[in-house]
């Protein structure tokens, strides 16, 4: 009697697992499908934007080679370098802003603390590009909308508002016991020293999370880059470059290169993500548990 019960329980678990795995496998295929298609297209040897077969008839590396050699019309290497530079600079700046703001809001009591948090919450409800026209005219008035200063303008755009996105990091800092801070104060630490000697080393997960998000933002942004770069092709970012490849004049000959470019821009994000992945998971699950 007991044995049959065990067997049926085992069988039931097996059936359940099978169903779950089949469903998951189907979903995984659906989710990975578009990515796989872009990767396949990037290796496609046939030209043109439209194909009648799912799998390319022949494969080539020429699309990648062309991105880096045929630079007279769409200079992909330069766009890539521009974007990387802008993304790294804004990543450093906005990570600092986010962490500093979060720390202040988590640890320091001041009168404007609550109003500031409410204001940030309300401002956060509006899409960032709502302000793009104003931002453009301010940057123009400062003389940042032409020449090499466009890069600075973009860095300012991407990092300037970072202080409003403090919620997750603040939540994390809140979970670090105050007793640690108090002990540090007794040992003679200033607030700044507590921040970088005590809090930051304890907060690797959330630092990693902040770095990831603040790198991806500028890396994939299109709207601000388009508004600010205008006709200055030397300072285009990859997002504008890829968009241009799909214009009427270019799409037929550049479409496979577009796919190759799309694969390439995912590489830095993928590397960053794989490298920081374990921290990322930790970062989302809370900090010091008692």
Partner 1 sequence: MSKHAKERNRRSACFRNRKPRERTEQVMKRCAAILMAAVTASAVILGGCSGSGSSAGQGGVQHVRLMVWAPSEDQSVDSGQWLQKSCEAFASQHPEYDIEFVYGVADEATAATQVAQDPEASADVFMYANDNITVLTNAKAAAKFGGIYKDEIEKTSSKAIVDSLKVDDYLYGVPFTTNTWYMFYDKSVFSEEDVKSLDAMLEKGVVSFPFTNSWYLPAFYIANGCTLFGDGTDESAGVDFAGEKAEVITDYLIDLMNNPNFVVDADGSGMAGLRDGSIKAIFTGSWDAGSIKEILGDNMGVAALPTFNLNGEEKQMMAYAGSKAIGVNATSDNMLPAIQLAVYLGSADAQKLHYELRNVVPCNTELLAQPEIASDMLVAAQNDTFDRTSILQPFVAGMANCWTPVENMGKGIRNKTVTHENSAQQTQAMSDAMNSDGIS
* Alpha carbon distance 262, 127 (integer Å): 25
> Taking CB under 8 A as the rule, does residue 282 contact partner 1?
no
Tell me the three state secondary structure of residue 111.
coil
Joined together, the tokens standing for residue 127 give: 């899409």
Q: Which residues 4-33 are close enough to bind partner 1 by CB under 8 A?
A: none
Q: Binding partner 1 by CB under 8 A: which of 38, 49, 174, 222?
A: 49
Q: Binding partner 1 by CB under 8 A: which of 38, 39, 40, 46?
A: 46
Name which of 194 and 263 has its Cβ closer to partner 1. Answer: 194
User: How many residues would you count in the chain?
Assistant: 290
* Alpha carbon distance 144, 106 (integer Å): 35
Q: Which residues 64-93 are close enough to bind partner 1 by CB under 8 A?
A: 70, 72-74
Yes or no: say if 249 and 178 are a contact pair by the CB < 8 Å rule: no
Yes or no: say if 140 and 232 are a contact pair by the CB < 8 Å rule: no
> Taking CB under 8 A as the rule, does residue 247 contact partner 1?
yes
> Taking CB under 8 A as the rule, does residue 180 contact partner 1?
yes
Backbone phi, psi, residue 59, to 5°: -115, 155
Counts for the chain of helices (H) and strands (E), in that order: 14, 0
Residues that contact partner 1, how many (by CB under 8 A): 43
* CB neighbourhood size of 75 (10 A): 18
> Taking CB under 8 A as the rule, does residue 37 contact partner 1?
no
* Alpha carbon distance 154, 158 (integer Å): 6
> Taking CB under 8 A as the rule, does residue 100 contact partner 1?
no
Segment interacting with partner 1 (CB under 8 A) among 25-33, 119-127, 231-239, 268-276: 231-239
Name which of 213 and 253 has its Cβ closer to partner 1. Answer: 253
Yes or no: say if 63 and 44 are a contact pair by the CB < 8 Å rule: yes
Q: Binding partner 1 by CB under 8 A: which of 97, 158, 255, 258?
A: 255
Name which of 27 and 143 has its Cβ closer to partner 1. Answer: 143
Q: What is the DSSP string of 164-200?
A: G--HHHHHHHHTS-HHHHHHHHHTT--HHHIIIIIIH
Tell me how far, at minimum, the Cβ of 285 lies from partner 1, in Å.
17
Segment interacting with partner 1 (CB under 8 A) among 16-24, 61-69, 190-198, 208-216: 190-198
Segment interacting with partner 1 (CB under 8 A) among 61-69, 158-166, 226-234, 262-270: 226-234
Residues contributing to the site for partner 1 (CB under 8 A): 46-52, 70, 72-74, 136-137, 140, 142-146, 149, 152, 177, 179-180, 183-184, 196-198, 202, 230-233, 247-249, 251-253, 255, 288, 290
């Amino acid at each position: 009697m007991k044995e049959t019960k065990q067997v049926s329980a085992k069988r039931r678990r097996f059936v359940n697992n099978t169903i779950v795995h089949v469903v998951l496998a189907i979903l995984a295929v659906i989710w990975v499908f578009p990515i796989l298609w872009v990767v396949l297209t990037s290796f496609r040897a046939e030209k043109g934007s439209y194909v009648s077969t799912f799998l390319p008839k022949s494969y080539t590396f020429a699309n990648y080679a062309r991105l880096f050699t045929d630079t007279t019309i769409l200079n992909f290497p330069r766009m890539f370098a521009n974007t990387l530079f802008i993304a790294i600079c804004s990543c450093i700046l906005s990570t600092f802003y986010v962490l500093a703001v979060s720390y202040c809001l988590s640890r320091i009591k001041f009168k404007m603390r609550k109003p500031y948090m409410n204001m940030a919450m309300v401002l956060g409800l509006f899409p960032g590009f709502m302000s793009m026209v104003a931002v453009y005219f301010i940057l123009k008035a400062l003389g940042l909308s032409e020449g090499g200063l466009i890069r600075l303008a973009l860095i300012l755009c991407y990092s300037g508002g970072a202080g409003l996105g403090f919620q997750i990091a603040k939540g994390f800092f809140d979970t670090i016991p105050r007793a640690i801070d108090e002990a540090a104060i007794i040992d003679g630490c200033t607030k700044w020293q507590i921040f970088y000697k005590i809090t930051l080393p304890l907060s690797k997960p959330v630092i990693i999370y902040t770095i990831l998000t603040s790198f991806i933002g500028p890396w994939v942004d299109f709207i601000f880059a388009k508004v600010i770069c205008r006709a200055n092709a030397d300072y285009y970012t990859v997002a504008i470059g890829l968009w241009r490849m799909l214009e009427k004049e270019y799409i037929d000959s550049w479409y496979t290169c577009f796919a190759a470019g799309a694969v390439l821009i995912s590489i830095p994000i993928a590397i960053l993500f794989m490298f920081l992945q374990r921290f990322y998971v930790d970062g989302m699950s809370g900090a010091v548990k008692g």
